[in-house]
C-alpha cells in the first residue's frame, strides 16, 4: 500500500463515519420535536423511549469520528478543536446533556423533574445538528486559523503553540457566515426529516404516526430547499486547490470540477439524493392515497427511514470526499491560505495509517453485530403497552 492510498483510504473512512453520524442524527432530529409530536406525557415517553434505544450509536459514532480524525489527521484535530474552541465546546456541552437525559428523566429521585431533561433533549436536538453541520460547512467555506510549525523552535515564544485562531471568537465567527448557517440548517432539517421517518417506522401508534406525516412534509421541504441552495452555491464558488508542490491557491468552480473529475462520487451522491427523496415521498404518498392498501400501513412496511438513511450515507460520504480528494484543501484557512490543511500535510505517518488500516478491517464485523442487535431489539415495534410493562423504560 502506498502512502497516498492510505491517505485517501483514511479520508474515506472518516467521511463514512461522518456520513453515518449524519444519518444517526435522526435521534437529535426526533428529539427536537418531542413537544411537537408528543402532545401529552404518555406520547412523549413513547418518543423518548424510541430514540433512547439508539442514542448511544450516535454518541459512539461521534466519539469514533473524533478518534479516527485524531489518529489519521492529527493536525486537523489540534487546529480545529483547539481553535474553534467555542463551537466544539457548545456541541460537546449539548451532547453531555443528552447522555444523561434519557436515563434520569423519569426515574424517582430526579429532583429536576422530567421536563428539564426533555428540554435538554430538545436543546441537543436543535443545537447538535445545527452546530455539527456548521462545523462541516467550514470544510468548504474555510476557517480563521494559522498554522506555524516553526513555533516549536521559537525560543522567544511564551509557549511554542503551532496552531492559532486569528480572532478572539474561537469558532463562533463561523456562525456569522450565512453559507455556514445554510448548511447547518440543512443538516438540522435533514435530522428532523430522518427523525420523523424513524418514529413512523419504530413506534406502533396511529396518532403519532399521523402527526408525524404532517410534520414530515414541512421539515423535508425546508431541508430540500436549503440543500439545493447550498449545492448550487458549492458548484458556483471558488475552491481551495493545491498543486504538486503543496502550494494552495483558489480555483474557480473547484467543487464543480471535483464533481466532474470524480464522476463516480457524483453518481453515488445522485443515487443517495434519489433515495432520500424516495424515502420522503413514498411516505407522503401513503398519506395522500385516498384508499391506502392496509398492508402499506403495517409497521414493517413503513420503511422510508431505510431509503432516506441509506441515501443520506450515500450523499454525505461523497460530499465530504469532494472537500478533500482531487487536490483539494479540506480544511481551508481564510486567515492564511498556505496554512490550509490538506490530506498530505495534515495526516499521520505511513506507519500509523498502515497500522490503523488493519484495525479498520474490523469495521464490517462491528457493523454486522450492530445490525443484528438492532434487528433483534426492533423486531417488535414500540407501543404504549410495552412501555407500561417495561420496568427499565425511560
**158 interacts with other proteins by CB under 8 A:** yes
**172 interacts with other proteins by CB under 8 A:** no
Q: Would you say 121 or 224 has its CB closer to other proteins?
A: 121
**317 interacts with other proteins by CB under 8 A:** no
Per CB under 8 A, the list member of 9, 12, 35, 77 interacting with other proteins is 77
**360 interacts with other proteins by CB under 8 A:** yes
**267 interacts with other proteins by CB under 8 A:** no
- Alpha-carbon distances of 220 from 216, 226, 319, rounded to whole Å: 6, 10, 19
Say which DSSP state 79 is in: I
CA–CA separation, 256 vs 232, rounded Å?
10
Q: Would you say 2 or 379 has its CB closer to other proteins?
A: 379
- Alpha-carbon distances of 90 from 64, 105, 126, 285, rounded to whole Å: 19, 22, 12, 39
Q: Are 221 and 51 in contact (CB under 8 A)?
A: no
**366 interacts with other proteins by CB under 8 A:** yes
Per CB under 8 A, the list member of 40, 176, 264, 351 interacting with other proteins is 351
Using CB atoms within 10 Å of the CB of residue 252, give its burial: 0 to 12 exposed, 13 to 18 middle, 19+ buried.
exposed
Q: Residue 394 Cβ, how far from other proteins at the closest point, in Å?
A: 10
Q: Are 11 and 343 in contact (CB under 8 A)?
A: yes
Per CB under 8 A, the list member of 28, 118, 163, 202 interacting with other proteins is 163
Chain centre to alpha carbon of residue 153: 38
Could you say which residues in the range 90-149 bind other proteins, by CB under 8 A? 92-93, 95-97, 99-100, 102-104, 107-112, 146, 148-149
**60 interacts with other proteins by CB under 8 A:** yes
Rg (CA), the chain: 22
**9 interacts with other proteins by CB under 8 A:** no
Q: Would you say 301 or 355 has its CB closer to other proteins?
A: 355
Per CB under 8 A, the list member of 59, 249, 278, 357 interacting with other proteins is 59
Q: Residue 62 Cβ, how far from other proteins at the closest point, in Å?
A: 7
Say which DSSP state 299 is in: G
**68 interacts with other proteins by CB under 8 A:** yes
Per CB under 8 A, the list member of 157, 228, 232, 267 interacting with other proteins is 157
Paired residues of 268 in beta bridges:
none
Question: Which of these segments, 239-247, 268-276, 298-306, 371-379, binds other proteins (CB under 8 A)?
Answer: 371-379
Could you say which residues in the range 374-393 bind other proteins, by CB under 8 A? 374, 376-377, 379-380, 390-392
Per CB under 8 A, the list member of 284, 352, 357, 384 interacting with other proteins is 352
> Phi-psi category of 356—alpha, beta or left, where left has phi over 0 and alpha has psi -120 to 50?
alpha
Per CB under 8 A, the list member of 15, 51, 80, 342 interacting with other proteins is 80
Using CB atoms within 10 Å of the CB of residue 21, give its burial: 0 to 12 exposed, 13 to 18 middle, 19+ buried.
buried
Q: Would you say 260 or 366 has its CB closer to other proteins?
A: 366
CA–CA separation, 41 vs 64, rounded Å?
34
Per CB under 8 A, the list member of 168, 206, 264, 294 interacting with other proteins is 168
Residue ranges in the chain assigned as alpha helix (H): 3-24, 26-31, 34-37, 41-52, 55-72, 74-76, 82-83, 85-105, 114-141, 178-202, 206-236, 254-261, 263-288, 304-322, 343-346, 350-360, 363-378, 384-389
Question: Which of these segments, 27-35, 54-62, 125-133, 265-273, binds other proteins (CB under 8 A)?
Answer: 54-62
Per CB under 8 A, the list member of 8, 53, 237, 384 interacting with other proteins is 53
CB atoms within 10 A of CB 153: 8
CA–CA separation, 126 vs 218, rounded Å?
16
Q: Residue 204 Cβ, how far from other proteins at the closest point, in Å?
A: 14
Q: Residue 327 Cβ, how far from other proteins at the closest point, in Å?
A: 20
Amino acid at each position: 500500500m502506498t502512502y497516498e492510498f492510505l491517505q485517501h483510504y483514511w479520508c474515506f473512512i472518516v467521511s463514512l463515519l461522518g456520513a453515518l453520524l449524519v444519518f444517526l442524527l435522526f435521534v437529535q432530529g426526533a428529539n427536537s420535536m418531542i413537544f411537537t409530536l408528543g402532545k401529552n406525557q404518555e406520547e412523549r415517553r413513547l418518543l423518548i423511549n424510541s430514540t433512547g434505544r439508539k442514542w448511544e450509536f450516535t454518541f459512539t459514532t461521534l466519539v469514533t469520528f473524533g478518534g479516527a480524525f485524531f489518529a489519521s489527521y492529527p493536525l486537523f484535530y489540534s487546529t480545529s478543536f483547539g481553535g474553534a474552541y467555542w463551537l466544539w465546546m457548545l456541541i460537546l456541552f449539548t451532547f453531555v446533556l443528552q447522555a444523561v437525559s434519557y436515563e434520569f428523566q423519569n426515574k424517582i429521585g430526579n429532583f429536576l423533574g422530567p421536563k428539564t431533561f426533555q428540554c435538554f433533549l430538545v436543546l441537543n436536538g436543535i443545537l447538535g445538528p445545527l452546530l455539527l453541520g456548521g462545523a462541516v460547512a467550514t470544510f468548504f467555506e474555510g476557517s480563521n486559523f494559522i498554522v506555524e510549525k516553526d513555533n516549536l523552535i521559537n525560543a522567544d515564544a511564551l509557549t511554542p503553540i503551532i496552531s492559532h485562531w486569528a480572532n478572539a471568537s474561537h469558532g463562533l465567527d463561523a456562525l456569522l457566515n450565512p453559507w455556514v448557517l445554510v448548511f447547518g440548517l440543512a443538516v438540522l432539517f435533514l435530522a428532523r426529516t430522518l427523525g420523523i421517518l424513524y418514529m413512523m417506522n419504530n413506534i406502533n401508534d396511529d396518532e403519532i404516526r399521523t402527526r408525524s406525516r404532517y410534520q414530515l412534509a414541512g421539515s423535508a421541504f425546508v431541508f430540500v430547499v436549503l440543500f439545493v441552495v447550498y449545492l448550487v452555491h458549492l458548484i458556483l464558488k471558488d475552491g481551495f486547490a493545491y498543486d504538486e508542490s503543496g502550494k494552495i491557491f483558489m480555483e474557480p468552480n473547484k467543487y464543480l470540477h471535483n464533481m466532474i473529475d470524480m464522476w463516480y462520487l457524483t453518481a453515488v451522491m445522485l443515487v443517495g439524493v434519489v433515495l432520500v427523496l424516495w424515502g420522503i415521498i413514498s411516505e407522503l404518498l401513503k398519506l395522500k392515497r385516498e384508499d391506502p392498501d392496509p398492508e402499506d400501513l403495517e409497521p414493517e412496511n413503513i420503511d422510508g427511514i431505510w431509503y432516506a438513511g441509506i441515501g443520506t450515507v450515500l450523499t454525505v460520504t461523497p460530499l465530504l470526499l469532494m472537500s478533500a480528494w482531487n487536490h483539494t484543501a479540506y480544511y481551508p484557512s481564510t486567515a492564511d491560505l498556505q496554512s490550509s490543511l490538506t490530506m498530505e500535510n495534515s495526516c499521520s505517518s505511513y506507519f500509523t495509517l498502515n497500522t490503523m488500516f488493519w484495525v479498520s478491517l474490523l469495521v464490517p464485523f462491528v457493523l454486522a453485530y450492530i445490525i443484528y442487535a438492532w434487528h433483534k431489539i426492533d423486531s417488535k415495534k414500540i407501543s404504549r403497552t410495552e412501555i407500561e410493562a417495561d420496568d427499565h423504560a425511560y
